[in-house]
Structure formats: C-alpha cells, structure tokens
Structure 1
Amino acid sequence: MPEAFANAVIPARVTTVWRVVRDFGGLAAWQPAVADCVLSDGQAPGRVGCVRTLSMADGETVVESLLALDDHARSLTYGIVSSPYPVQRYQATLRVLPLTTTDETFVGWSVNFDCDQAHADELANNFRTDIFAAGLRGLADHCCTP
C-alpha cells in the first residue's frame, strides 16, 4: 500500500491552525490546488460523514468524505469518494500539534492508498509535493496573514 507524508512548522498558535484545518468545507481558502470547495446540502463541516466536492485548480473534480474528526487529538481523516486519480481506498489524515517551546504548530499530512503498482511512486510523489506540501505552505500563509 503506497503512502505519502509531508509536514510543516507553522508560525501560528495551534488553536488558530486547528480552527482552519477542522473546517472540512474551508479547504479552498488555503489549499492552492483547490479552486472551490462545497459541502453537500445542509451538512455541518465538522460532522463525520459529511461530503465535500472540490473543484480543483486544474479543472478536475474530487469528492471526499470526512471519516473522523478528533478535537482533543486535533486530527482529521478523510477519504476519496470519487476522483480522476487511479486510486482506491485513499485515506488521508491531517494532525495538528503544538510546539510548546516556540508557540508554533506542527502539521503532518499523510495518506495511504491502493493503486496499480506501476503508478505508485508517481502518485505518492504527486500527493506529497503537489497536494500536501503545497497545501501546507498555503495553510501557513493563511494562518499567518493578519
């Protein structure tokens, strides 16, 4: 099962970063790969099972479902319902942790998925670089802009 991971230290308080990350319907505000993010009708952005439709910057559409949300552990897990990516059983997790000595925040973003072995390295690299690392830079910019 391929996996990808990216992380960043964000110079903002953990409560600020977690408030942004836990808003399952707010991804387009900070993820540059996402042009628009719409929750299914009447769904609360923190309710497990809610579904969001992402209009990607490249014109593709991705539909994701919130699988788990833990405010105490500051962890959010989601899966892909449908996408143009040749993956199955895609499950990604964002974890937000305080760096108590500096009052900054550590964010880790990981994914496990199944796919044809011929595409595993390319997909893992794309998720790590184009989605997660770029998204974490966008999250830092969003959280640190007054």
Structure 2
Amino acid sequence: MPPSWMAACTFTARGLAGHLPVGTTGRRDEMTKVKMETELPVEPENVWETVGRFNALQEWHPAVESSEMEEGGKVRRLRLAGGGEIVERLEQLDEEGHAYRYSIVSSPLPVGRYTATIRVRPAPDGKGSVVEWSSDFEPQGPEQEALETIRGIYQAGFDNLRKLFGG
C-alpha cells in the first residue's frame, strides 16, 4: 500500500468518540465486518447530494485524488493521493433510501472479497443526519491490520465530512 494512502488514513483505534466501530468474531471462516458511523448537523438529503454520487469520492475523501467512471458508470477507478489505484464496482444504488453498495475489483488494500455499503439516514433526534459506512471482507494477511486499515479509511472520510458539513 502506498505510504501516502496510509498517511491519509492514519488513525488510532482507541478514542473514536462519536463513531461506532464493530469488530469481528475472530474466526477466519467468517467474513470480517466493520461498521462505523458519524453524525452531521445537516439534513440527509444535503449530505446525500455529495456522498451519494458514486463518482464523487474525491470531493469528500482526502485520500482520493481523482475518480474516473468506466463501464457506463458501474465502475470507478480511484487514483490515490501520492500514487496507487483502487477499482470499485457499483453493485446496488438506492436513491430513495440514500444508500449504495459497492465491491472492490482491485486494490493495494489488505482485503479480499470486499463489499461495502454507504448509507445516509436521519439522526435519531431528527436534527441532522447519520452517515454509516459498513463492510464485509476477507483479510489478506493479519486480520488486525486489515481492520485498522479499513477503519482508518472510514475515519478519514468521516473527519473530512465533518469539515465540509460541520459537526
């Protein structure tokens, strides 16, 4: 993995106040799961305008320099800040439910069979929104390394969303 990608997504597993990571059972015959979320003080529709566009990751994630669409908009090729590339496929889009599911086709990340969902929903108190990012994958190497890498990616995105939308 390019050092710049790791630097852009560095985080500490402890002290993620306001974010809810979900770990794993530790069994290697099961998929490893990560689920994190963050609250933003704006309406879900406003957040979805940015987060919901499959080809807009570079607008809100600091590790993504550019995104190019292929295969009629079903595949995005992400160029990472400092080098490297991730290719992802849009598996399902639910505009009404403010969610999309995607899979990784190729990447330098230590994961295989990776699928993820990004969802935006109203905050429980009705004021603002919650952005949820969850995934299932098979670690390629030590499970803890894969967990920390994916959590770091999500955390970097959430941190930047809070800069963009407040919170």
| Interval of TM-score (by shorter of Structure 1 and Structure 2) | 0.7 to 0.9
Runs of 4+ with deviation above 3 angstroms: none
Is residue 94–residue 110 contact of structure 1 (8 Å, CA) maintained in 2? yes
Give the aligned partner of residue 47 of structure 1: none
Unaligned runs of at least 5 residues, structure 2: 1-30
Q: Which has the higher strand share?
A: 1
Give the aligned partner of residue 81 of structure 2: 57
- Give the TM-score normalised by the residue count of structure 2: 0.75
Please show how residues 63-78 of structure 1 align to structure 2 within 5 Å: 63-78=87-102
- Give the TM-score normalised by the residue count of structure 1: 0.85
Highest RCO, 1 vs 2 (Cα 8 Å, sep ≥ 6)? 1
SS at match of 1:59: coil
When the two chains are superposed, the root-mean-square deviation of aligned CA atoms in Å is: 1.7
Give the aligned partner of residue 54 of structure 2: 24
In 2, Cα distance between equivalents of 1:100 and 1:112:
25
Per-residue CA shift, 1:85-112, capped at 9, x if unaligned? 2322100111111126352111111111
SS at match of 1:139: helix
Is residue 4–residue 112 contact of structure 1 (8 Å, CA) maintained in 2? yes
In 2, Cα distance between equivalents of 1:6 and 1:86:
19
Q: What is the identity, as a one-letter code, of the residue corresponding to 2:87?
A: V
Unaligned runs of at least 5 residues, structure 1: 45-49
Please show how residues 1-146 of structure 1 align to structure 2 within 5 Å: 1-40=31-70, 43-44=72-73, 50-99=74-123, 101-116=125-140, 118-129=141-152, 131-144=153-166
In 1, Cα distance between equivalents of 2:164 and 2:147:
25
SS at match of 2:154: helix
